[in-house]
Structure 1
């Protein structure tokens, strides 16, 4: 992701994104405020997903992303990528919903 890509999100949301270290994915995290309402999140570039055709993945926080991945598959969705480690930042799983939209699931365990 070019520097202007993350700068656009910083300008739109009035925040400073933090680059997260991961050898497989390019990840930029929005600031998290655990004591405040709202959701933390990250922008992630996934190899194999091109711009436009579902290139943006919205991540949802959960206790154990493997549990929610199984729920997605059981309710008409599909598991695109089973739970995997993103190092010090926890784990993610990728699923598609019943309409084929990909979402990410993030957990610390």
Structure 2
């Protein structure tokens, strides 16, 4: 593999409006609607809201996704969002309707992490170097 392994992520949700409000509040960004793929996906009411991304920069783009048969919840993939200082985003979690699962903690030379649970029951990580 000659690139970073993650190129896209999807966070599955049940209530798109609630999840949109949570992520916009925690990360202070605006999510934008993505067109659904043609075929069966649009027939089953799939919705996608993308996080801001620049495909010319490093890291992965991603979206919130509401889709029949793909419920949110613990035990799935854990996505880590890069932050300047993850304590800043962590401080917004509860006011936005989520909960802090594990407050900011050191991972040694690799920086710091915090774990939160969003309004849909997904565990999501925050990572920073300070």
TM-score with structure 1 setting the length:
0.54
Secondary structure at the counterpart of residue 124 of structure 2? strand
CA distance in 2, matches of 1:98, 1:53: 12
- Which residue matches 2:119? 98
- Which residue matches 1:7? none
1:89 equivalent to 2:110? Answer yes
Secondary structure at the counterpart of residue 94 of structure 2? helix
Superposition pairs of residues 17-56 of structure 1, within 5 angstroms: 30=5, 37-39=57-59, 53-56=74-77
Runs of 4+ in 1 over 4 A off after TM superposition: none
> C-alpha displacement at 1:55, in angstroms?
3.7
Which of the pair has more CA radius of gyration? 2
- Which residue matches 2:88? 67
Higher relative contact order (CA 8 A, sep 6+): 2
Preserved CA contact (<8 Å) 2:74 2:123: no
- Equivalences, count: 69
CA distance in 1, matches of 2:76, 2:123: 9
> C-alpha displacement at 1:106, in angstroms?
0.2
For structure 2, the 5+ residue unaligned runs are 7-55, 61-72
For structure 1, the 5+ residue unaligned runs are 1-13, 18-29, 41-51
